[in-house]
């Protein structure tokens, strides 16, 4: 029989904002279950840029994304959140108590309130249309870099012209045996200072620019990749001996099932009331990158503040009739979860 869980608040998304919502709800004596389609916590921070330093988290002049996630989990831990990782919320429907969430593994969670902290939705990389690429995924083709060290001594082809492609080319040039930068045109869509560093490294012979080329094919055996074929629009082909291909063509943003739940949307984001993060569905709140309102900034620190506002707005739903007296954490400490 499918598992069924009951909780005060169900949080969809274990990104930085979803994790902080566990803390904020916990401080107001509300238990949380957290569901994430990824098999790890951390959302974009963990999946896209774990080793990158973040400079705009208050109180931390610099902190690596993975370290921030570790600290957020630690901060949430006293409230014993129940994580359902590697599972996607497929359906959301009202019931007598609040909401019933159906997960794609058949299990269900009943909650008084729901916090949608689903970032850009269930995100995935835009994949280049290369025949047979699936066979190399996870062996020689990676859409994200979890640990730079894993690429030490490798011959790496990076494809793309945006920030991820440029930043990783610069970073991996320090550890790789060779870095080839494949882009279809000489202009890059990255921060000008990063592009300047890329060009300096190319001049110094640390990165080879393969421009104007596009990916054309892959070669290798069952155990991994051995070469990447590239071609110009005029049909000039070149074969680059390589162990790794990193295609950085951005993220496919796909709200997935969230788009079917009756939430009021604006350009793939959920419209919320700015002071409570309430959506048009009673008892359903949205925070972090997925939430929109006039003046919204897609920053982690704004998501943290939205988590606090949503938790306060949810309190009367979980504790009806109990007055909520605003208190600082310095006054009440961290209540037992
Ligand atoms: C390269 C890069 C650098 C950045 N640098 C900074 C920076 O310096 N400072 C800053 O403030 N911000 C930065 N950001 C933005 C920051 O990462 C986001 O604002 C932040 O991750 C948003 O957090 P979130 O918790 O709202 O969503 P996310 O981190 O996107 O997490 C959402 C989670 O929800 C899950 N999910 C979605 N749909 C479902 C579903 N149906 N069922 C289950 N799970 C679901 C996803 O799998 C995901 O794990 C950067 C982003 C990128 C890509």
pLDDT for res 332: 87
Instruction: State the distance from the centre of ligand 1 to the C-alpha of 43, rounded, in angstroms.
Output: 5
224-231 and 237-241 as β-strands: parallel, antiparallel, unpaired? antiparallel
Residue nearest to atom 22 of ligand 1 (CA): 289
Per-residue pLDDT tens digits for 49-98: 888 899 999 999 999 999 999 999 999 999 999 999 989 999 999 999 89
Spatial neighbors of 158 by CB under 8 A, at least 6 apart, are: 165, 168, 169, 172, 179, 180, 181, 182, 246, 248
Which pLDDT score is estimated for 222? 76
State the pLDDT at residue 256.
Answer: 86
Q: What DSSP character marks residue 88?
A: -
pLDDT of residue 47: 84
Q: Distance between CA atoms of 313 and 251, rounded to whole angstroms?
A: 32
Ligand 1 pocket test: which of 10, 11, 12, 13 has the largest number of ligand atoms within 8 Å of its C-beta? 13
Does any ligand 1 atom lie closer than 6 A to the CB of residue 49?
yes
Closest CA to 114 of 25, 49, 44, 39: 25
Give the Cα separation of 45 and 149 in Å (integer). Answer: 18
- Of all protein residues, the one whose alpha carbon is nearest to atom 3 of ligand 1 is 49
pLDDT at 284 exceeding the cut of 90: yes
Q: How far is the CA of 300 from the centre of ligand 1 (A)?
A: 8
% of the chain surpassing 70 pLDDT:
98
Task: Answer whether residue 336 shows pLDDT above 70.
Answer: no
- Quick one: which of 227, 228, 229, 172 has its CA closest to 201? 172
Among the ranges given (22-26, 41-45, 179-183), the one the predictor scored with the smallest mean pLDDT: 41-45
The H-assigned helical ranges of the chain are 16-27, 43-48, 65-76, 163-172, 192-203, 300-318, 329-332
Q: For the residues 183-190, what does the mean pLDDT come to? A: 95
Q: Would the CA dihedral through 100, 105, 106, 108 be positive or negative? A: negative
The preferred substitution site among 118, 162, 288 for testing ligand 1, maximizing ligand atoms within 8 Å of CB, is: 118
**Is any ligand 1 atom within 6 A of the Cβ of residue 35?**
yes
Is the model's pLDDT at 123 over the cut of 70?
Answer: no
Q: How confident is the model at residue 320, as a pLDDT?
A: 96
Judge whether residue 1 has pLDDT over 80. Answer: no
Report pLDDT for 337: 53
- Supply the pLDDT for residue 120: 81
Q: Cα-flanking dihedrals φ and ψ of residue 81, to 5°?
A: -65, 150
> pLDDT at residue 133 above 90?
yes
Assess whether the C-beta atom of 56 lies below 6 angstroms from ligand 1. yes
Q: Is the CB of 218 under 6 A from ligand 1?
A: no
């Amino acid at each position: 029989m499918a598992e069924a869980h009951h909780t005060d608040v169900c949080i969809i998304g274990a990104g930085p904002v979803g994790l902080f919502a566990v803390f904020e709800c916990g401080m107001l004596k509300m238990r949380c279950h957290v569901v994430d389609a990824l098999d790890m916590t951390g959302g974009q921070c963990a999946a896209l840029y774990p080793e990158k330093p973040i400079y705009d988290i208050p109180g931390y002049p610099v902190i690596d994304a993975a370290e921030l996630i570790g600290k957020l989990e630690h901060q949430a831990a006293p409230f014993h959140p129940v994580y359902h990782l590697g599972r996607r919320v497929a359906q959301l429907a009202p019931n007598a108590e609040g909401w019933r969430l159906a997960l794609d593994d058949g299990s269900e969670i009943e909650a008084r309130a729901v916090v949608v902290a689903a970032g850009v939705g269930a995100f995935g990389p835009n994949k280049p249309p290369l025949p047979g690429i699936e066979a190399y995924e996870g062996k020689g083709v990676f859409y994200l870099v979890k640990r730079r060290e894993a690429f030490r001594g490798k011959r790496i082809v990076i494809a793309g012209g945006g920030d991820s492609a440029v930043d990783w080319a610069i970073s991996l040039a320090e550890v790789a045996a060779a870095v080839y930068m494949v882009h279809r045109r000489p202009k890059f869509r990255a921060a000008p200072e990063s592009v300047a560093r890329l060009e300096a490294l190319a001049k110094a012979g640390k990165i080879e620019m393969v421009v104007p080329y596009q990916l054309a094919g892959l070669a290798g055996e069952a155990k991994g990749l051995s070469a990447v074929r590239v071609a110009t629009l005029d049909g000039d082909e070149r074969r680059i001996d390589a162990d790794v291909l990193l295609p950085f063509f951005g993220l496919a943003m796909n709200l997935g099932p969230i788009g079917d739940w009756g939430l009021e949307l604006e350009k793939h984001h959920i419209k919320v009331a700015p002071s409570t993060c309430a959506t048009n569905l009673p008892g359903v709140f949205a925070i972090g990158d997925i939430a929109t309102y006039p003046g919204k900034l897609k920053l982690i620190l704004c998501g943290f503040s939205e988590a606090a506002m949503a938790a306060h707005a949810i309190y009367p739903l979980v504790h009806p009739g109990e007055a909520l007296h605003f208190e600082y954490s310095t006054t009440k400490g961290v209540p037992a979860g």
